[in-house]
Amino acid sequence: MPKGESEWVDYNKRQVTRVYPGGHRVDSSNYDPVVHWCMGSQIVALNYQTPSPSMQLNDGKFEENGGCGYLLKPAFLRDESPEAHFSINTGPFTKRVKLVVTVLSGSQLPMPVRSHTHEPLDPYVSVELTGVPADVQRHRTSVVTENGLNPIWNETFTFHVACPDLAMLHFTVWDKEWGPTSDVFVASRAVSVSCIRSGFRSVDLRDEAGHNTGDHKFCSLLGIFSISEEDEWTATALRQAEESAR
């Protein structure tokens, strides 16, 4: 059996791999499916009965092909030629892009199911990029106090994406809790980067189980997206500069 991650990629070009939650997950929790998609595993099973970020990513991933349940892996995860080797850590990454996301506003954000109060929302948005290790990044907006109807953020975030074919953008709206309790989930949506188009876009949000019904039927985020090609030298230099500035 293969041991390293690059060996798993080569193995999955010839064989079918099924990944599933271990039996020790007695609470029906889920693992992160993205790393297994990145290594070319064909069947990545999850506990569908458990609402979680993993299931939100799964729903977003398979929306890429109309929700039919099947996706064609990128060519570099299917190429069986002797010289074709892909590593999730070192690539080669030949199609880098710069993704600029401006979170403008929200609309009709519902009260959280597990909210302990009836006070207005104090929402903020977490914008997370997931994919190969080099692409994992997270940003968040500021908190808008007492406005779940039409909060305005108008905040811009830049992502340098090494492998857009495997990357996903995950929006999560949270209600800020100012006391000792944790922030409360409001709504989310995961989108494959390969499906993103430049321009003004309305992002329909879903509940924790991935449904856009009931209170979540009309809630959304409004944003501006810009996606452009980027060479490796520029992406590396900009990423290092951003890390130094933090």
Its pTM stands at: 0.89
Tell me the CA distances in angstroms from 233 to 93, 97, 237, one per residue in order: 12, 12, 6
Q: What is the mean pLDDT of the chain?
A: 90
- Reduced to 3 states (helix: H, G, I; strand: E, B; else coil), residue 193 is helix
pLDDT at 242 over 60: no
pLDDT tens per residue across span 225-239 = 999 998 766 666 666
The count of C-alpha atoms lying within 13 angstroms of the C-alpha of 221, restricted to the half-sphere facing its C-beta, is 29
**pLDDT above 90 coverage of the chain, percent:** 74
